[in-house]
Amino acid sequence: MLDQPIHMSLDDLISFGIDAERGFLPAKDPLRQLPPEFAPWEDVADDIGKLIVAGRLRGAVDGLPRLPVSAIGDERAARRAMLVLSYLGHAYVWGADGAAGVIPEPIAVPWHQLAQRLGRPPVLSYASYALDNWRRIDAGGPIEIGNLAIAQNFLGGADEDWFILIHVEIEARAAPAIRAIPAAIEAVARDDADGLAAALWQMEASLASMIETLRRMPEFCDPYIYFHRVRPYIHGWKDNPAVPDGVVYQGVGAYGGVARKFRGETGAQSGIIPAIDAALGIEHGHDRLRVYLMEMRDYMPPGHRAFVEAVEDRSAIRGFVEDAGASDRSLLSAYDSCLRRVEEFRSIHLEFAARYIFRQAGDERANPNSVGTGGTPFMPYLKKHRDETRPRGSASV
- Cβ atoms of 81 and 69 closer than 8 Å: yes
Rg over CA atoms, the chain: 21
- Please give the C-alpha separations between residue 95 and each of 87, 255, 397, in angstroms, as whole numbers: 11, 24, 41
Degrees to nearest 5, angle at CA 312 with 306 and 317: 135
CB atoms within 10 A of CB 193: 18
Q: What is the mean pLDDT of residues 40-59?
A: 98
Q: What is the pLDDT of residue 382?
A: 67
Say whether 371 sits in a helix, a strand or coil: strand
Query: Range with the lowest mean pLDDT among 61-65, 149-153, 344-348?
Result: 344-348
Domain with 346 in it: 5-387
Q: Answer whether residue 396 is part of any domain.
A: no
Count: domains in the chain: 1
Q: Answer whether residue 397 is part of any domain.
A: no
* Chain centre to alpha carbon of residue 159: 18
- Cβ atoms of 301 and 128 closer than 8 Å: no
Say whether 150 sits in a helix, a strand or coil: strand
Which one-letter DSSP state was computed for residue 23?
B
Say whether 103 sits in a helix, a strand or coil: strand
Q: What is the pLDDT of residue 292?
A: 82
Query: Range with the lowest mean pLDDT among 136-140, 157-161, 259-263, 391-395?
Result: 391-395
Q: Answer whether residue 392 is part of any domain.
A: no
Q: Which CATH number goes with the domain that contains 346? A: 1.20.58.480
Q: Answer whether residue 81 is part of any domain.
A: yes
- Please give the C-alpha separations between residue 239 and each of 52, 104, 227, in angstroms, as whole numbers: 24, 22, 18
Q: Answer whether residue 316 is part of any domain.
A: yes
Alpha helix (H) ranges present in 48-146? 48-54, 57-62, 75-94, 105-118, 126
Residue 309 CA to residue 114 CA, distance in Å, equals: 24
Q: Answer whether residue 314 is part of any domain.
A: yes
Q: List 249's β-bridge partners, or say none.
A: 103
Has residue 388 got a pLDDT over 70?
yes
Q: Answer whether residue 395 is part of any domain.
A: no
pTM of the predicted protein model:
0.93
Has residue 354 got a pLDDT over 70?
yes
Q: Answer whether residue 30 is part of any domain.
A: yes
